[in-house]
Structure 1
Amino acid sequence: MRLSGSLLQQVGKQAYRPKRLKRVLNYAVFGFAATCCAYSGLLLFNLASGVFQYQSKRRPEIETQKRELEAAMQEKTAIERQAGLPALLPPSPMASLLRWLGNLFLSRLRPLGRRSPRPSRAASPPRPARPCRAALMMMYSGSGYAGMQRQPNQPTVEGALLDCLLAGGHINAGQFAQPRQQLGFITASRTDSGVSALAQLVTLHHDLADPGALVRDLNSRLPDSFRVLDAVRVTKGFNSRYRVLNRTYAYYCPTFALCPDPLPSAYAYRIEPDRLRHLRYCLSRFPGTRNYFNFTCGRLLDDPSCARYIVNSWADEPFLYNGLEFVEIRIVGQSFMRHQIRKMIGLCIAVVRGQYEPSAFDAAFSAKRRLNVPRAPGLGLLLFDLNYAIYNREYAAKLGYPTLDWARFHRQRQ
């Protein structure tokens, strides 16, 4: 019984300890809060007593200053009445106080005549014009050029333009050596060797102080087959390559190239309606998104960049030029790879001539293996138009920038 009683007593003590600890904590918190309240009350009492004592000591001085201000205000009001001037403020203590504060504020101000004169800016040199984003609208004949992009020891369109910019003092030697890094030189489309352009756009950083003088200077240095149509200012982030909505290429194909029979004279041949219809059917196979791996070079079989979107492709009615019949082929697409358009037209010519079966289109688009697709000559290929409709609508029309439209140069492009 003693053992069980002592055990129960220990258990009771263990059960009682949390209650006692909780009670002690409550007393401690209550005591701390009471001490803080008493200390705060003591501070407030001392502050209030100090303010009261300060006001009691300063009250005679304040009353004296108040009487002096009232006397000065009455004297000034009397002088103004004798002079016939109306009183601006009524003779009251509040008006006197406001007038005194105003005079005190004015007396503290530094006179303007004591300020040191600003240094003259007439002797400083004028700031150079800040470079902006400029676009050169131009056209050229691709005959005699090894393409658009500059190449060592090769005549190119880009090289001829940069040479004229350097010779005219429009760019420096560093910009000439690295035009893309230091000049932001970007072309809208890279034409192949022998390919001409009726609409080409180049963007670069230039102050464009006098666009007309820049155009005249470049045209005086360029050959007659290379013309700069206009120089306009564009937005800061404008990119001539990625801002273009679609590109239109034209290929002028002589109709005798579509005839498989030996001809006595190419000038005497006129294309038959069935053969022209067959050509238009072949061109109708291109619109849409397709894999053009077999229509380019230097790409891998599984390269996703070979997928390109063609908006439209068609053939116009034949026409005569110097007694020779031609047919104009138009191809509109978002972007093109190297030799793509020339191989597209070469495959159409081979199928119309009967050298390839019509099933060659399906085999070329399947891209399961490399096929030998014929390539048309580059002499008849022409970059016809660049479509910047979205830029003209969003920026040129709303923000006042010049439109990028080659229709206004119709007479020069004839």
Structure 2
Amino acid sequence: MRFNKTRRLLLTSITLALGGGLAHAQTPQNVVFWYHFDNPEQTKIMDGLVNDFQTKNKGITINAQNVPWNSYYDKLFTSVVGGKSPDVAMVKLAQQPQLVEMDALEPIDRQINSWSGKADVAPNLFEINKAANGKQYYLPLQYVVVYLYYRADLFAKAKLSAPETCEQFLDAAKKLTLPASANGGVPQYGFGMRGGKGGQDNWGPFVLSQGNLNGTDMVKPKVVAANNWYIDLFRTHKVSPPSAPNDGFNEIISAFKSGQTAMMFHHLGSANSLVATLGDKVSAVPVPACGGQRWTYFGDESTALFKTSKVKDAAWKWMAFLSEGGNNAKFVQATGQMTITKSAAGKVQAPARFITATANSLPFAKPLPAVPETADFVSTVWPTNMQRAMAGEITSAQMMDNVAKHFSPR
């Protein structure tokens, strides 16, 4: 009797333990995911990906939150400081050093090395994404390079060819800048300059082609002169709209679509939207060469797992899902950017001329420096100083001295 009673107690304990384990395994896991999309159609595609993932991964809920681009990194860094980071977020290389310095990210080397989708990702993307300490914190998601969009109809009307050099760019910008009296009552400008956040990607082809973004190159006469040349597009030649100092992505896109501007810099992400509005009136070429040198921005987007996450395994599953073949093809369908996978490379939905502009730009495309100072340079240092220079409050030399001090405090 005593043996049977002991046996029953043991079996009961095992059953309770197993039951508790099963209950724990079935506890719903909520993964908070931050991303940034520009329009409702893109968000619908994200909603579809979330539904597909949840159908295949019962017990995991993806709380996908679309955060406006202009406040995206301000909110992300604030959440890190406040200990309320999302579990996963879309991130760029420029922010990685600062996030690593803040000890905000979870290394994912182990997960990547055991991930079945690793072989389908272009291997150089893992190398580009690697942190200075040799660890992997980012899982590649998409990439683009910045190139020059131009209004083919306006160029044809002015009997101009797409510019290949900075001299040709300035010449075209001048000839395509028309007063209202010569353009049906509406002024036209040659170049949609972006003085607000994100504008460093438009500035880079003219200035970073002349020197590296660091404390020594930025004050060299050649680099200061290149920066002055860029500022003069607005101040002296007046080939950009008066709103240029504060213009961001939405403003330059709207002006280009309406015909207010004839040239702008962006990447493949805008191609389908522009073609939907303009058709064959829009085309693209690589950024112009300045003094025989070219530089354009390699625009990356990855996902990162935050150290404060309490659902790391579930969060990793979501990250991996977004970077796998068909899922990644759907994701870049929403963003219009380039897939990271070899299997889906031929499925990018964009007209051939924009794919060609992207491919022809890769040889001289580079990310911004992987140093902690880059995040603040992008978010505050560049836009603040550029806007002041465009307003005539500081000279080109003063602006570049401020940039140099930011990267190499003296």
Q: TM-score, normalised by structure 1?
A: 0.26
More strand by share: 1
Q: Which has the higher contact order (CA 8 A, sep 6+)?
A: 2
Query: Which has the larger Rg?
Result: 1
